[in-house]
Amino acid sequence: MSQRNVLKENLAESARVLRERIGDRRPEVGMILGSGLGPLAGQIEDAVCVPYGEVPHMRTSTATSHVGRFVCGVLGGKCVLAMQGRLHGYEGNTAQEVAYPVWLMHELGVDTLFATNAAGAINESYRVGDFCIIEDHINFTGRNPVAGLEPDGIAFRFFSMLDAYDPALRRLARETADELGIRVQEGVYLGLLGPSFETPAEIRAFRAWGADTVAMSVCEEVIAARHTGMRVLGMSLVSNMACGIEGASPTDEEVLDVAHDRAADFARLATAIVERM
């Protein structure tokens, strides 16, 4: 007798309920809107909104500014399924619970993930308010959502993370930003568990490792996406200088204020990128 795979069963039930709610929409691009970046969901046309709590087996968001719902509709001429707010490990979610909505997107037919977040700049040439295309990441959360028996039933557990952030999508994002006159960087992102911000000593260590930005999300979601073969584009808003750089001592309020100030350019850039995907 074969052993039950509860994760697969749960995903099937979640997908059935979400399909019923979004109707005949067939999303091709999944979006994760990070801290302060959720207002972009308001520009999705013909939208259906489904709170996470109404999807079986989904955890709910508790972080500031994270609304905690799926928004499905049209952005840049494409059918998108956006997460207006994400799930974090620091909220008490396991790695698989953080990854769950990405696996769910794949179950619904999404083949491209556009993950965004707010991050602190380790690279001192970056400026607060810049956008940074993620070239690669360092997963320093100490967790991997594919660890365990059940994810192997979704897709084979061993997979390459070479070019985890799709080179063609990164090039598209750079070219789009150039055409719009929006300043972008490209660098290595380091993800931590949080919720405390980093110490100056940690930031010095991360710089030595080659990290350009740092925050408390993205890595586990991207691992889940690559596990199922999804193409990934990652982009951070540089919302603060990392702790100790130029005397910086980051706060949640600072992150949200910068996101508010850069909301219009983020919407222009993200919409244009989706349109060209």
Running along the chain, 277 residues long, what does each successive block of 10 average in pLDDT? 87 98 97 92 96 96 88 98 96 97 98 97 97 98 97 96 98 98 98 96 98 98 98 97 90 88 95 97
Would you say 198 is a known binding-site residue?
yes
Say how far apart CA 186 and CA 235 lie, in whole Å. 9
Find out whether 231 is annotated in a ligand binding site: no
Check the annotation: does 2 bind a ligand: no
Calculate the alpha carbon distances from 200 to 138, 191, 244, 250 in Å. 18, 16, 5, 11
Any binding-site annotation on 260? no
- 195 preceded by cis ω (within 30°)? yes
Cα 96–97–101 angle (5° rounding)? Answer: 100
Tell me if 183 is assigned to a ligand binding site.
no
Provide the pLDDT for residue 66.
84
Give the pLDDT score at 246.
Answer: 85
Q: Which amino acid is at 61?
A: S
Residue 205 parent element (H or E): helix 200-209
Question: In the beta sheet, which residues pair with residue 131?
Answer: 184, 237
Q: Is 256 annotated as a binding residue?
A: no
**SS3 state of residue 23:** coil
Whole-angstrom Cα distance, residue 121 to residue 225?
A: 25
Q: Could you tell me which residues are beta bridge partners of residue 236? A: 117, 132
The answer on whether 86 is annotated among ligand-binding residues is yes
Measured CA angle at 92 (ends 89, 93), to 5 deg: 60
6-276, CATH topology level: Rossmann fold (3.40.50)
The structure tokens listed for 149 are 């028996």
Nearest-angstrom CA–CA distance, 151 and 7: 7
Terminal alpha carbon distance of the chain:
44
How far, in Å, CA of 218 to CA of 128, rounded?
A: 20
Does the annotation flag 63 for ligand binding?
Answer: no
Cα–Cα dist 199/213, whole Å: 14
Give rounded-to-5 percent helix, strand, coil for the chain. 40, 25, 40
Q: How much is the pTM?
A: 0.96
| Residue located via tokens 């061993």 | 158
How many degrees, rounded to 5, is the angle at CA 209 between CA 247 and CA 32? 80
Q: Which two tokens stand for residue 227?
A: 């596990």
Domain range list for the chain: 6-276
